[in-house]
Amino acid sequence: MIHAKASPSGYKRWSTCPGSLTLEEKLGNLIPPDEGGEAAQLGTELHSRAEAALKGECEPCEDTQFYVSFCRQLAAQKDAEMIIEARVPLFYSREEHGYADCVIRTEDCVHVIDLKTGNIPVDAVNNWQLAIYAYGMGMTSTETFTMTIIQNNEAKSWSLTVDQIEALSSVIGVKAQAALNPYINELNASDEACMWCPCKPWCKAYTAKLLENFDDLTGNMEKLSDEKQAYLFAHKSQITKALTAIEASLFSRVSAGETISGVSVATGRRGNKTWSKEVDPITTMIMAGIPREKCAVEKPISPTQALKLSPDVEGWYQPEGRPTLKAGDAYDPAEDFDILN
């Protein structure tokens, strides 16, 4: 499925960072194809199963049962029309369209229902992605538009009148035109805009946001407030991924012959010595005068392997986990210090 340039799902990105779409287009093939991780692949599979179940081609699985039942219940209303994987034209870019998981028209309401399979909570209220889908379904005599997120067997909804959704569409339209304008290069880094943005390794705004207020992280940690240190720790995974992407980008460019001040390609540390596939290690060592009994060391299999063979194995123990730092969720750094602003 080909996604629209200013896709509804990417609204948080292009509405706050309009230059990101132009940057992505300029980078072109420098950005590696998004193959998706295990979570993305699972999400695609569950959406396919849910679609097939709604079409009556199979029974819903455990992870889609609530979503399928919710849609079927709405579709059971008098004169209701259910559209699965609804192709929705984008009012701000007529040549493009998006896909809503399920749209159900009833006598007095248009329901837009979106199945979310990830662990990051998604709210229905102020969900502009669904508002774009709702408006794209067209203005009728419908009194209300109700947008629903189905996640973790829970339904969260947001209802708007025709007047309200028309007012929202005006705001969305202005932001979309700015993002689609190739002459607007404004880049604004933020947690929401940058989370899924493929341009991070090349984006100066993103790099500046990561480094903001951190002149010497390794030698002067006392300069950082407790709150900032907690923020860095809580975002360790994101920062590590960003640095890994930056390293990969720099290595690729310098290896291709590009000169970048401050970095170069060097030969890394040699790996551990290993036996060549062309020789028999035992024979080679014996011929070199090493006694056979010293050429190989027998090691017992692990307790885990042993227990799979017999649950009666004794004499093993499992060490307690070492104390480790855990990121909390009570602190919201966005209101307290500049790194997020």
The string of pLDDT tens digits covering residues 224-275 is 777 777 877 877 777 777 777 778 888 888 888 888 888 888 877 777 788 8
Domain end point (choices 148, 180, 212)? 180
Which residues of the chain fall short of a pLDDT of 50?
1, 330-341
Strand order in the sheet with 109-116: 81-90, 93-105, 109-116, 144-151, 154-161
CATH at 160: 3.90.1570
46 and 140 housed in the same domain: yes
Structural domain that includes position 80: 36-180
Number of domains in the chain: 2
Q: Does residue 3 lie in a domain region?
A: no
DSSP per residue over 141-199, as a string? S--EEEEEEEETTEEEEEEEEHHHHHHHHHHHHHHHHHHH-TT-------HHHHTT-TT
211 and 109 housed in the same domain: no
Domain end point (choices 121, 145, 180)? 180
pTM above 0.85, yes or no: no
Q: Does residue 235 lie in a domain region?
A: yes
Domain end point (choices 150, 180, 210)? 180
